[in-house]
Amino acid sequence: MFIIQTYSVAVFFCIVTMLCWGSWANTQKLAASSWRFELFYWDYVLGIVLLALLLALTLGNVGTGGRSFFADVAQADSANLGLAVWGGVLFNGANILLGAAISIAGMSVAFPVGIGLALVIGVVVNYLNAPVGNATLLFGGMALIVVAILLNAFAYRKTATEGASTTRGSSTRGLLLSVVAGGLMGLFYQYVARSMFPNFEQPQPGMLSPYTAVVFFSLGILASNLVFNTLLMRRPFVGPPVTYADYFRGSARNHLTGVLGGMIWCLGMSFSILASDKAGPAISYGLGQGATVVAALWGIYIWREFRNAPRGVGMLLNGMLLCYVVGLSLLIVAR
């Protein structure tokens, strides 16, 4: 299977992860005018599964290192398969809430608050499981990211308080969904990391290769989506209920947009997992969640989600972006 050989290449893969995780939601925004989030999300999940299988059948079966995909599945211990699947279930619960928060509050709020919180939780949890990197730099970066989250939340609330009462109610709901999504999002990665053998060049009996782990992670997403998204379709956070018949009435463009979004996210996940061998799970996950900056830039400057913001909000947003960039830079040099 293909394996990363150096830390510098691992950092490059983390940067690709950051771009993928920060950009997939653009597909949701593109589809939003004609396609409900709950319907979009079915295709998004299919995109994740399809790309996970594609990478496993190609990169997972080339090279001399590690263990090929089919051989790895044949020897895998059920407990480790279960860890990868459970990681998918946790991620899916978090990501559905994040998607709902994006539809209410926008990318420039849901990502910095929700994924920023997930970054802090995920780095701490993954560092405790595998303490790789300079703790002072790592947690110094985390402190700056917490400041960035608070600045973003304050900017959003300041903007919402000048709107109508319904807008203020939606702002509270959007922030709450972002916080709950972030709490769950920060936990899923550790289960996927624990299912894999720690040195990708030295396979261990019963444990998973990164490609097998991502495939079963994606299957956990798919299985849980039958429950989570079905419930959300019946009791959506915003708008009237939708049905499966509505899904099948969607255009080819609607469906392909969702699949593309899922494939973009899964490419980032796969690259993050591959990078964790040389960078360590805490740094790999933390750098990948620099997606918050990418998503905030999309939301602020391309989708113009703060175009009607009152005076002073621009300074808060610039401060938020600065804290994120410096915090993520500390994560890079922490190893």
pLDDT of residue 171: 64
pLDDT of residue 154: 83
Domain map of the chain by residue range? 13-333
pLDDT of residue 170: 60
pLDDT of residue 64: 79
pLDDT of residue 126: 83
pLDDT of residue 166: 43
The ranges of the chain with pLDDT < 50 are 164-167
pLDDT of residue 249: 95
Instruction: State pLDDT tens for residues 97-128.
Output: 988 888 888 887 888 888 888 878 888 888 88
Instruction: State pLDDT tens for residues 160-209.
Output: 766 544 445 566 788 889 999 999 998 999 999 999 998 899 999 999 99
Cα 5 to Cα 32: distance, rounded to the nearest angstrom: 41
Q: Could you please report the per-residue DSSP string of 227-293?
A: HHHHHHHHS-SSSS---HHHHHTS-HHHHHHHHHHHHHHHHHHHHHHHHHHHH-HHHHHHHHTTHHH
* b/e sequence 222-236, b meaning 16+ C-beta within 10 Å: bebbeebbeebbeeb
Q: Is 53 helix (H, G, I), strand (E, B) or coil?
A: helix
